[in-house]
Structure 1
Amino acid sequence: MIPSLESITARLRLRHFRLLIAIDEHGSLIKAAESVSISQPGATKALQEIEEAVGSALFLRTNRGLSPNEVGHCIIRYARLIYQDLAHLREEIESILDGHGGRLAVGTIMGAVPLLTDHLTQLLKRQPAMRIELVEDTSAHLLDLLDSGRLEIAICRTSVSPRPEAYITTRIWEEQLAIVANSSHPLTGLNAQLSDLAASTWIVYAADMPMRRYLEQEFQTHGLPFPNELVETTSAFATLSLLQRNPTFVALLSTEVAQVLSRTGMTSNLLVDLPARSEPYYLVHKRDRSLSPAARLLSEQFTALLPPLDRKT
C-alpha cells in the first residue's frame, strides 16, 4: 500500500530530492554522492529512506549503474518541479527585496493572447523588472495549473470545470469569432455559408472546449454534420503554419487573434455570418488563495476598464 501523504511529507527532505536529481543526471550513486557532497554510504542510506517513504523501489540496479523505473521517473520529475519552485521562490523574494515587483505566473487561452499581452505591456511599463511567466493553453489545463499553484491568475472559462465555485471570476471580454483561411482560399472575398465549408479540414480546439462546442452547435443549427477532417491545436502559431501550408484549411478563431494573423498577409477572414457569440473571457483565480501584489496589479488593470456591472466576482 502506498504511504499516506502525511507519512511521505514527514519522511522526505529536500536533500532527498537533490540526490534523486543527481542520480538521474549521473546514472551512478557514487557520482551522484560526489556531486551533492555526501559520502557513498550516506547516499545509499538516503536512497533507502526515499524508497521506504514512497513504498516502492525507484531504480533498476545494473552493472552500468542506476536506471529509474516508472515510479522513479515519476518522483524525479516532481523532484525537479520542487527545485524549480524553490528557484522561483528565491527569485521572487530577491525581486521583492530589490523593489522590482516580484514574479507573476499567468495563463491565457489562445483567443485572449492579444488582450493579455496588451495589459502585460502596460504592467511592465509600471514594473519593468517584474518577472513574468506566460502560459497559453486550454481552459481545462489552465484551471489545473491554477489548482496546483503553477499559475496564480488566468484568462479562461470555468464552465469546463466540475467545480466552478472554487474560483473567483471577473468577466472581462465578450468574444467575437471569425472563420480564417489562407489568403488564396477559393472563398476569399466571397459571401459564403457554413455549408460551403462542411467538407473542409477544420483547425479546432479539442472536444468539450467552449470554442469547439460553439462550432458543433453552429453546424447542428444549420442541419449539417460536423466535419470529420479535423486538426486539434491550441497554438496560434501552429494554426498560422497549417493555414499557410494548406490553402483549403479553415480555422475558427477569436477576431482579435484573426486580426493578428491577418497582419502577416498570409490569412484572411472568410465572409461567413456567425450570428452567435461564444462564452465571454473571465479573469480567474482560486477562491481560497490571496493574490500577490503583482497579480493584484494585473487584476486592477483589467477591472479598471470594465463597466460597473461587470466588476463582479
Structure 2
Amino acid sequence: MLNARIKLRHLQAFLEVARQRSFARAAERLAITQPGISKAIRELEENLGAALFERTPQGVALTQAGLTLLRHAGPAMRALEEGVAAVGDTHRGDRWLRVGALSTVESQLLPEAIRSWHAEPDGQNDVGVNVVTGSSAFLLSRLRRGELDLVVGRMTEAREISDLAFEHLYYEPLMLSVRSGHPLAGIAPLEAERLGDFPWVLPPPQTTLRQQVDSFCVRHSLTLMSQRLETLSLPVSRRYTLESDAIWVAPEEAIAEDLAAGRLCRLAIDLEAQGGSVGLCFNASMEASLAREAFCEVLREVSARRGFGSAT
C-alpha cells in the first residue's frame, strides 16, 4: 500500500527535477518557488528513507534509489494522466501512440510501418501516431519516465538501455558515403588515411553512433579535420553532402535511395564489421496497450518483408 504521507505533489516534484536535472528549472516549470520544490523533495526523501538526488557540477543527478523510483513512478504517473485524459477523449475517440524514433529508422522502416498500420482494416486507422526524434539517451530517458510507448532504432550500445526490454529486428550498418563525382568515389581499395583530407558529416559526441565513428578513427589512427558537421538531422546531412566534398557517416537505410539513384556513392571501406542491432525498446513496468502491440507486429512484418539489414 502506498504510504499515505506521499502525495501527488511529491511525485510531480520528483519527476520534474529528474527531467530537468535542476531544482530551479523544475520549480519554474511547475510554477512554484524553489524552496517549495526543495521542501517537497525533502519530504519525499524522509518518507522513503533514502536520498533521491545528489549534486554534481552539472546540476543534480539521480541516486540509485532515485533511479529505482523513476522507473516505477514515471510510468505510474503517465498512466494516471492518460486515465484522466481518456475520460475527456471518450467523446471524441482520440487515441495516440507515442513512438521514439532514432535516425536509423526515420527514412524507411518507420514511415512504411505507419502507412501499413493505418491501412489495416482492424480499427487502427483511428489511432494517431506521435513521433519524437532525438538521441538514444534522450528517447530512452523519456521511455523510462513513461512518456513514450516504445523507442525504435539502433540502440543496443546505449548505456541507458540496461533496465529496459529490447527486441532485435535486424542489423543496420553505418556507411561512409560521398556525392557522385567526389575525389574518393570509385577508389578501391581505399586507404583510411585519405579520409582525413575531407570534412565529415557525423553524429554528435556522446551518441551511440558517434562511438562507432570514434572507434573507427582509433583503429586507423585517423584524425578528422576541424571542418566538420555534427548533427542527427538526415535532411541537413544529406543536402550538405550532396553539395560539398564531405564524407557522410550514415545508416544504410538513410542513403539507400540516393545510392540507387547514383546521387551518392558508398566508399570502399567499412566503418564497422556487422552493424548495430536495430529493434524495439519497451519499458517493462508499463502495461502494454493493444495499440502498441499491434504496431510492433507491423514493424516486425515490415522488417521481414523489406529485408532490412542482415538476416536476423
Partner Cα distance (1:210, 1:278) in 2: 12
Report the count of equivalent residues: 237
- Give 1:140 shift: 1.1
- Give 1:137 shift: 1.5
Contact 1:178 1:269 in 2 (8 A): no
Larger Rg: 1
Q: Report the TM-score when normalising by structure 2.
A: 0.64
Contact 2:203 2:230 in 1 (8 A): yes
Change in CA separation of 1:7 and 1:54 when aligned onto 2, cut-off 3 Å = farther
Match of 2:219? Answer: 221
Partner Cα distance (1:144, 1:229) in 2: 32
Please point out which of 246, 251, 269 is paired with 1:273: 269
After TM superposition, the structure 1 = structure 2 runs for residues 1-313 of structure 1, keeping only pairs within 5 Å, are 6=6, 9=9, 50-51=32-33, 53-54=36-37, 102-113=95-106, 114-126=108-120, 127-156=124-153, 157-162=155-160, 164-191=161-188, 192-245=190-243, 247-262=244-259, 267-274=263-270, 276-303=273-300
- Give 1:96 shift: 6.6
Partner Cα distance (2:235, 2:83) in 1: 31
Code of the residue aligned with 1:9 in structure 2: it is R
| Structure 2 SS opposite 1:190 | coil
- Give 1:264 shift: 7.2
Q: Cα RMSD between the aligned structures?
A: 3.6
Contact 1:8 1:53 in 2 (8 A): no
Change in CA separation of 1:7 and 1:96 when aligned onto 2, cut-off 3 Å = closer
Partner Cα distance (2:86, 2:242) in 1: 41
| Structure 2 SS opposite 1:189 | coil
Change in CA separation of 1:193 and 1:93 when aligned onto 2, cut-off 3 Å = farther
Contact 1:95 1:103 in 2 (8 A): no
Change in CA separation of 1:97 and 1:224 when aligned onto 2, cut-off 3 Å = same
1:20-58 deviations in whole A, cap 9, x for unaligned?
A: xxxxxxxxxxxxxxxxxxxxxxxxxxx8xx5485479xx
Change in CA separation of 1:104 and 1:92 when aligned onto 2, cut-off 3 Å = farther
Contact 2:173 2:274 in 1 (8 A): yes
1:130-178 deviations in whole A, cap 9, x for unaligned?
A: 211112211111101212222110113143225x342111001201232
| Structure 1 SS opposite 2:172 | coil
1:200-245 deviations in whole A, cap 9, x for unaligned?
A: 1111112232321222222222232344433211110111122233
- Give 1:273 shift: 2.2
- Structure 1 stretch displaced more, 225-234 or 279-288: 225-234
- Give 1:89 shift: 6.9
Change in CA separation of 1:201 and 1:10 when aligned onto 2, cut-off 3 Å = closer
Q: Unaligned 5+ residue runs, structure 1?
A: 13-46, 57-84, 308-313
Match of 2:27? Answer: none
| Structure 2 SS opposite 1:280 | strand
Partner Cα distance (1:88, 1:290) in 2: 12
- Give 1:129 shift: 2.3
- Give 1:121 shift: 1.4
| Structure 1 SS opposite 2:294 | helix
- Give 1:288 shift: 0.9
Contact 1:240 1:261 in 2 (8 A): no
Partner Cα distance (2:223, 2:184) in 1: 20
Change in CA separation of 1:165 and 1:86 when aligned onto 2, cut-off 3 Å = closer
Code of the residue aligned with 1:109 in structure 2: it is L
Match of 1:81? Answer: none
Contact 2:104 2:254 in 1 (8 A): yes
Partner Cα distance (2:82, 2:177) in 1: 39
Q: Report the TM-score when normalising by structure 1.
A: 0.64
Contact 1:210 1:278 in 2 (8 A): no
Contact 1:214 1:278 in 2 (8 A): no
Partner Cα distance (1:299, 1:92) in 2: 22
Q: Unaligned 5+ residue runs, structure 2?
A: 13-30, 40-78, 305-312
Percent of residue pairs bearing the same amino acid type = 17
